[in-house]
A = this chain, B = another copy of it.
Amino acid sequence: MGRAACPSGNLAGRLCRDHLHHCDGLSAIARSLGGGPCRRQGRTDRRTVMKVAVIGTGRVGGVIAPNIGQAGHDVVFGVRDPADPKYAAAGQGVPLTAMAYAGAWADVIILAINWDAVDGALAALGPIAGKILIDPINPYDFMNNLAPLIAPDQSAAQLLQGKTDAVVVKALNQVGSGVMADAPQRRIKPLQFVAADDAAAKAKVIGLLTDIGFDARDAGGLDYARELEGMARLWIAQAFGHGLAPDIGWSLTGPDA
């Protein structure tokens, strides 16, 4: 839904399930006509609009979801209980929906939660076979010197793939929210690698990340997720232990930059 206005007149981003469907249908019509009640503030070209569910309203989810809507995609949050007042400020114009709804509605699901919440979230999402499941999780103990929470020869993404029949794509884990937030406005686009075994899913995610301001690149198969999680360990250590400003991102630059 992004920052689209809902026909219910509810602009707070708290759409009921009917309105979500309703507005979603109107979005499609509006797109075909180049306008309409579900206005998009961002991109309005002919690229595929994705239906993206961001699971979790924390630091990463909280900045990624509005940017996805701003880029012209349909986006909702998936949370435990959309009526819980604790989410009231988190929405930022992005509809809050129940996990099962988000799982059923979305084409692309971003699992912006901690590693220890994965099993519960997968259960709450319900059937998501074949959907794209973006894994931004960094399986490190943030209270204990970034010690790995999993065997050091494994990646969260590969373990996650073992738990679901969705198509796991590793991405959005390599920098913190301070970089994600204003990526669309930056002159030098922050690097964000994407690792997956499914080429079509990977291409779709690279497109989505490009839309929200990243220099998104194919890192290789899901076996490269271990290296992407290592990049995150380095970045987090820089930002929290070595004085790197938390809005500093990775980039790839050459002699002429």
Q: How far is the CB of A86 from chain B (nearest CB, A)?
A: 30
Number of interface residues of A (CB under 8 A): 38
Q: How far is the CB of A174 from chain B (nearest CB, A)?
A: 10
Closest chain B residue to A193 by CB distance? B234
Please classify the interface of chain A as helix (H, G, I), strand (E, B), loop, or mixed, using the class held by over half of its residues. Answer: mixed
Given that A153-B153, A255-B185 are known contacts, is A234 also in contact with B247, CB under 8 Å in the complex? no
Stretch at the interface among A12-20, A33-41, A161-169, A222-230: A222-230
Given that A217-B242, A227-B230 are known contacts, is A248 also in contact with B254, CB under 8 Å in the complex? yes
Taking CB atoms and an 8 Å cut-off, the chain A residues in 179-202 that contact chain B are 182, 185-188, 190, 193
Question: In the assembled complex, which residues on chain B have CB atoms less than 8 Å from the CB atom of A220?
Answer: 234, 237, 241-242
Complex contact B253–A244 (CB within 8 A): no
Closest chain B residue to A190 by CB distance? B253
Residue A218 lies at the interface, judged by CB distance under 8 Å to chain B = yes
Complex contact B255–A252 (CB within 8 A): no
Complex contact A226–B186 (CB within 8 A): no
Q: How far is the CB of A215 from chain B (nearest CB, A)?
A: 10
Find the residue from A190, A245, A255 having the highest chain B CB count within 10 A: A255
Q: How far is the CB of A212 from chain B (nearest CB, A)?
A: 15
Complex contact A231–B231 (CB within 8 A): yes
A152 to B224, CA, bound (A): 12
Question: In the assembled complex, which residues on chain B have CB atoms less than 8 Å from the CB atom of A187?
Answer: 257
Given that A249-B253, A251-B252 are known contacts, is A218 also in contact with B242, CB under 8 Å in the complex? yes
A sample of 25 cross-chain residue pairs with beta-carbon separation below 8 angstroms, ordered by A number, consists of A151-B153, A152-B153, A153-B153, A182-B255, A187-B257, A193-B234, A217-B242, A218-B242, A219-B237, A219-B238, A220-B234, A220-B242, A224-B233, A224-B237, A226-B230, A227-B231, A228-B234, A230-B230, A230-B231, A244-B252, A245-B254, A247-B254, A247-B255, A250-B251, A251-B257
